[in-house]
A and B are shown apart, each in its own frame.
Chain A
Amino acid sequence: MRPSPLRRKLWRTLPWFAGLAIVAIVGGPLVGSTSISLERAFDPAVPFADNVDAQIFFVARLPRTLAGALVGSMLASAGVVFQGLLRNPLASPFTLGVSAGAALGAMLAITFGASVAWTGIPAAPAASFLGSLAAVGIVYALARARHSGLSTNVLLLAGVTMNAFFSALILFVQYFADFAQTYRILRWLMGDLDVSSYQPLLTALPLMLVALAVFAWLARPLNLLSLGAESAGTHGLDVRRAQRAAFVSASLATGAAVSVGGPVGFVGIIIPHLVRLMVGSDHRVVLPASVLFGAAFLIACDVVARTVMSPLELPVGVITALIGGPFFLWLLVRKP
């Protein structure tokens, strides 16, 4: 039996995106203000304590690159899910204010964190997830009140309002942080991948894997939801269940990403859009391609952030905003 055209399309497109992601993950740690060589970094003759190349590679740059991969893939795929769910290509974790909700959650955990550590659940990702879930709950209520998804006007206004609201609360919480924390928090709020250890990645990873598992199931339902909720129902979809799964999993992905890298903006809007231009609109291709392309994109942005004003290292959110702001405006003025 011939393979289905969709399977052929997956085989023809995904290896390219995977290759791009691998090149970024391998190449990312090699670039920076100090040039290092892979050969020396992996030279077993030199002990790690004396191997400067290995230290830069494994301690400074590799966790940062992996953070870029995880944060980029989560924000990009969460963007795809929000767009499909709300039937609006301008939806994303950042434009909806969900990233800001997650940031507030993570800040509360960082500032008052000690008191929740006893639960055994890592406080920052969990609080970040709860923050994004609260923000998403507001979006969900709006979307339900409007029945057929969100119009662009409502979506943009809601996003602006949510961002302003959560930013005010973030400033309020920051008021309680001590002076030493403030600089670190400010950088993180701009979107910064300088994690300097593997620990935040390992704590966020399980949440990300759960989100990805739900996304895999959601891909086909998201195609049906593009028809509108009622038609999705007459195509045999349990619409309420699919919508809830999408809201919770996209919150999970956003929360996990923000707990690692802060509210990095625009990845969730740029990547899904570029991916759709390349592979079409079927979510079964768009979602995995966005995961891979999002990872490669954010690593590339971070390389620029680390080198453009070397030896100064910019927060990566500055770069994504410089690219994403004009891109978003172009989406707005473009013929629908």
Chain B
Amino acid sequence: MLRGVSVDLPARGFVGIIGPNGSGKTTLLRILAGTVPPASGCVLLDGEDLARTPRAAIARRMGVVPQETHLAFDYMVMEVVLMGRYPHLGAFELEGPSDFAIAREALAATDTLTFEDRIFATLSGGEKQRVIIASALAQIMGASSDGVLLLDEPTVALDLSYQLELASLLLDLQARLPIAIAVSTHDLNFAASVCRTLVLLKNGSVIATGPTAEVLTPALILELYGVEADVSRHAASGRIVVVPVRRAGAGR
């Protein structure tokens, strides 16, 4: 499905993988996460091939936030965040005080500490996502080297205000913690507001990659989506804004 794709996620980088549905965004993210092995080629984490790294060792460096999380049973928020500490424990070891301290720190970082004793299933979509981000943070915090956070289509299930909240949360986390972030998204404005570099994916191939301001151009958006768009800088926020105008060849 993916051909000749090469992606670089620099330390403390923020990379967006954008492209139309079926372009291979989610597959690429799964390959980066190590849950799907690439048919050929490899994923290197600090020069180590993921395919030859134990799963628990990968999990201690890399947290993944899926589109949506449904838990089969009524777990407390704290229990969900502590699951992020499992890869740090021996087979029959229980979470210790340091794991609880890290879990609290992760909850505080995502502003969800007040939910600690709530049942996860009773939270709203946006609150759930922040708790899952906290769980992924708890997973990669306390490691000796920088962590990686992968998010798959994080804005899909969120309404407008949560989308903005998520954008500022991710930027805030990266300002405070030594993490690299990669998101897959089809929301160009979300990508423009958070990502420093973009990877444009179409039919399983990278058509362009580079700093957001350089690759988010009308010409490349036309090539990627077949849509004519205006790209401008929003005066008040200073952010790049993409306004889709019409489908290419739709006349008038």
Contacts and interface: CB of A to CB of B under 8 A. Distances in A.
Interface stretch (A82-90, A162-170, A252-260, A297-305): A82-90
Contacts, number: 88
A27 B86 CA distance: 41
B60 to A, nearest CB: 7
B94 A83 contact: no
A216 B92 CA distance: 8
Which of A88, A89, A228, A284 is the most central at the interface, judged by chain B CB atoms within 10 Å of its CB?
Answer: A228
Nearest to A221: B86
Interface stretch (A45-53, A117-125, A235-243): A235-243
B71 A226 contact: yes
A109 B139 CA distance: 50
Nearest to A234: B64
Contact of B139 (A83, A230, A235): A235
B95 A281 contact: no
Interface in B50-100: 55-60, 62-64, 66, 69-76, 79, 83-84, 86-87, 91-92, 94-97, 99-100
Interface string B119-143: 0000000000000000000010000
A309 interface: no
Interface residues of A, number: 33
Interface in A220-237: 220, 223-224, 226-228, 230-231, 233-237
| Most interface-central of B69, B72, B86, B95 (chain A CB within 10 A) | B72
Greatest chain A CB density within 10 A among B33, B34, B86 is at B86
Interface in A256-296: 276, 280-282, 284
A184 interface: no
A226 B75 contact: yes
B35 A234 contact: yes
A83 B72 contact: yes
B63 A234 contact: yes
A236 B87 CA distance: 6
A88 B59 CA distance: 26
B55 A1 contact: no
Interface of A: 1-2, 4-7, 83-84, 87-89, 149, 216-217, 220, 223-224, 226-228, 230-231, 233-238, 276, 280-282, 284
Interface of B: 30, 33-35, 55-60, 62-64, 66, 69-76, 79, 83-84, 86-87, 91-92, 94-97, 99-100, 139
